[in-house]
Amino acid sequence: MSAAVNTAQAISTVRPRSGRQETLTIGAVFLGILIVAGVAISQRQVANPLPRLYDWQLSAFYDLSKTDQAIHTSLVTAIPELWLLHADMLSLQKRGKSKETWPDIKQLAEYYYVAPFAQDLFWTQNGSVKWTRVTAFSFEGSTVYHGYAGTADRQSAYLVVLSHAHKGATFNSVGNIWMHPNPNAPAPNTVVRDSLIRSGWKQVVPYSGEIERKRIRS
């Protein structure tokens, strides 16, 4: 009997190790790594150089059909040309040699060969768009060239709005391009932004070399 008691007294309960301590330690280390990595990644993130577009804007790079993209490229190049011709014509007007201050479509197409106004292969391949210079906006200080009736697939109507905010900086290229999904959309009565938007026009935002440069170097 006494032997049994002694045996009972000698037994001590040994609990298996749960590994709880190690689990907690490893968990803490993982958490630490995650926090450090998260902070490091957030610090290394590059600001997206792409312009944030509103729903009334289109990206020339991502959103346009090939025809619209081609016309947009040619219009962007035409804008500085239009300003230079405007400066020449203002100078001629001061000397009494010109009544107009902006080139008309015939001049652009037949003398200066400016795309997309010139009726060449580019013109026929890109829907033979009809162009007019709209002068009714002179009270708003803008000159507008309107392109419509294009026949290519997924073709838009076009507006080039040249703002007179350029005063004193004639060798400048300030101009906005707008497109309308209906290729026969008429010229608007005003070029006030909200009114254009209400009429279904969308401003086209180019993906310029400047944006790409920032993306590469950031």
Partner 1 sequence: MKFQRLLAAPLLVVLSTLLIGAVEARPLRVGITLHPYYSFVANIVGDRAEILPLIEAGNNPHNYRPRAEDMRRVMNMDVLVVNGIGHDEWAFEIIQAAGREEKLPLIYANSGVPLIPIAADEGEAKVVNPHTFVSVTVAIQQIYTIARELGKLDPDNAVFFRKNARDYTLKLRRMKAKFMGELVKLNTSNLRCATMHGAYGYLMQEFGLQVVAVIEPRHGVSPTARQLGNTIDKIKAANVNVLFAEKFFASNLADTIREATGISMYAFSHMSDGDYSPELFERETRANLETLVKAMRVINTETSASATES
Q: Which residues pair with 146 in a beta bridge?
A: 132, 159
Q: Which of 61, 100, 174, 187 binds partner 1 (CB under 8 A)?
A: 61
> Judged by CB, which is closer to partner 1: 88, or 140?
88
149 near partner 1 (CB under 8 A):
no
121 interacts with partner 1 by CB under 8 A: yes
Contacting partner 1 within 85-114 (CB under 8 A): 112-114
Helix (H) or strand (E) run with residue 68 in it: helix 66-94
Distance in angstroms (rounded) separating the CA atoms of residues 14 and 199:
83
- What is the separation of C-alpha 85 from the centre of its chain, rounded to a whole number of angstroms? 27
Residue 129: closest CA among 113, 112, 114, 146: 146
Q: Cis bond leading into 188, ω under 30°?
A: no
Closest approach, Cβ 16 to partner 1, in A, equals 56
Stretch of 42-50, 59-67, 95-103, 136-144 contacting partner 1, by CB under 8 A: 59-67
Site residues (vs partner 1, CB under 8 A): 60-62, 66, 69-70, 72-74, 76-77, 80-81, 84, 112-115, 118, 120-126, 171, 173, 206-210, 212-213, 216-217
